[in-house]
């Protein structure tokens, strides 16, 4: 079942859209806390986003840009704005379509179906990210995002962080991490692993993630 995320602060419009979406068998989530749009997106993993431009706190352009840093999930803007500049800006920010208010539910439904069909006939449904406590690891671009910082990782740093974040709350031994790196055809001995861990910690510290990776003496490493 396709999941659709609705980011619209007009309650009446939101309810009408939700009701219409359910008739077509789609699952939906409506954002009500407009400071948490990005976090809700990461957690919910929708297949499509309906986004108003005029929103409390940050506008739709801001959230579209944030989502585009980690995902190519289709985004349709719904807005009362109708100037060419607004439409051009929406598309330049990464939106896939633009519908002007007031809109026809039939047209909206047709656009949703067309985008879903076009997107998921060829692409995986996964959002390709791992998120833990506001830290987002992008599995496609091998970078990590925290608050407004985007951090590029080396191949080994990415693999280490991936293993730890995927198993958050569990102690991962040094041997298990090294075996995972060997499987990736990148031989890493004990000393090289220490260097990579220290370098990764330094990078995370630089973006405000002090002690994100903790050492359990004699056991291994943990993200908790």
Dihedral of the alpha carbons of 99, 101, 106, 111, in degrees to the nearest 10: 10
Indicate if the pLDDT at residue 122 is higher than 60: no
Q: Where are any strands of DSSP class E within 2-142?
A: 3-7, 27-30, 48-52, 75-79, 97-100, 129-132, 135-138
Question: Given strand 129-132, what is the order of strands in its sheet?
Answer: 129-132, 135-138, 143-146, 149-152
Q: Cα–Cα distance between 215 and 177 in angstroms, integer? A: 13
CATH number of this structure's domain 3-120: 3.40.50.2300
Distance CA 117, CA 183 (A): 36
Kindly state the percentage of the chain with pLDDT values over 90.
46
The pTM score is 0.60
pLDDT > 60? residue 125: no
| C-alpha triplet 206, 210, 215: angle, nearest 5° | 125
Q: What is the pLDDT of residue 49?
A: 96
Decide if 139 contacts 162 (C-beta within 8 A). Answer: yes
Query: What is the model's pLDDT at position 133?
Result: 85
In this predicted structure, the answer to whether residue 103 has a pLDDT above a threshold of 50 is yes
Kindly report each contact of residues 145-148 with a partner whose C-beta sits within 8 Å and lies 24 or more positions away, as own/partner: 145/69, 145/70, 146/207, 146/208, 146/209, 147/207, 147/208
pLDDT digits (tens, 9 = 90+) for 135-157: 888 887 778 888 778 888 988 89
Mean pLDDT of the chain: 87
Rounded mean pLDDT of 96-123?
82
Residue range 192-204: mean pLDDT, rounded: 92
Question: Closest Cα partner for 41 from 99, 128, 112?
Answer: 128
Q: How far is CA 151 from its chain centroid? A: 15
pLDDT at 123: 43
Fold for 129-222, please state it: Arc Repressor Mutant, subunit A (1.10.10)
Please report the pLDDT score of residue 116 as a whole number. Answer: 87
Phi, psi (rounded to 5 degrees) for 89:
-65, -40
- The whole-number pLDDT of residue 221 equals 95
Do residues 173 and 143 make contact, with C-beta atoms less than 8 angstroms apart? no
Domain ranges in the chain are 3-120, 129-222
What is the Rg, in whole angstroms, of the alpha carbon atoms belonging to the chain?
21
Question: Would you place residue 183 in the very low, low, confident or very high pLDDT band (cuts 50, 70, 90)?
Answer: low
pLDDT(114) > 80: yes
* pLDDT above 90: residue 161: yes
Sign of the CA dihedral 101, 31, 49, 121? negative
pLDDT (0 to 100) of residue 33? 94
Say if residue 182's pLDDT is above 70.
yes
Spatial contact of 116 and 47, defined as CB atoms under 8 Å apart: yes
Cβ(63)–Cβ(51) below 8 Å: yes
Whether 124 has a pLDDT exceeding 60, the answer reads no
């Amino acid at each position: 079942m396709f999941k659709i995320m609705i980011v619209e602060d007009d309650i009446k419009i939101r309810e009408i859209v939700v009701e219409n979406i359910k008739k077509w068998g789609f699952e939906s989530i409506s954002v009500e806390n407009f400071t948490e749009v990005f976090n809700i997106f990461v957690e919910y993993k929708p297949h499509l986003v309906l986004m108003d431009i005029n929103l409390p706190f940050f506008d739709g352009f801001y959230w579209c840009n944030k989502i585009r840093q980690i995902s190519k999930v289709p985004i349709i803007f719904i807005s009362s704005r109708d100037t060419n500049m607004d439409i051009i800006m929406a598309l330049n920010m990464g939106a896939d379509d633009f519908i002007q208010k007031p809109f026809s539910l039939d047209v909206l439904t047709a656009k949703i179906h067309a985008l879903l069909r076009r997107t998921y006939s060829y692409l995986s449904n996964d959002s390709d990210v791992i998120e833990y406590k506001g830290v987002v690891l992008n599995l496609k671009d091998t970078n990590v995002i925290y608050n407004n910082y985007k951090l590029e990782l080396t191949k080994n740093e990415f693999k280490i962080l991936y293993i730890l974040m995927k198993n958050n709350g569990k102690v991962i031994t040094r041997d298990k991490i090294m075996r995972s790196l060997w499987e990736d055809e990148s031989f890493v001995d004990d000393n090289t692993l220490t260097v990579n861990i220290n370098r990764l910690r330094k990078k995370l510290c630089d973006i405000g993630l002090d002690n994100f990776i903790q050492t359990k003496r004699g056991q291994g490493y943990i993200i908790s």
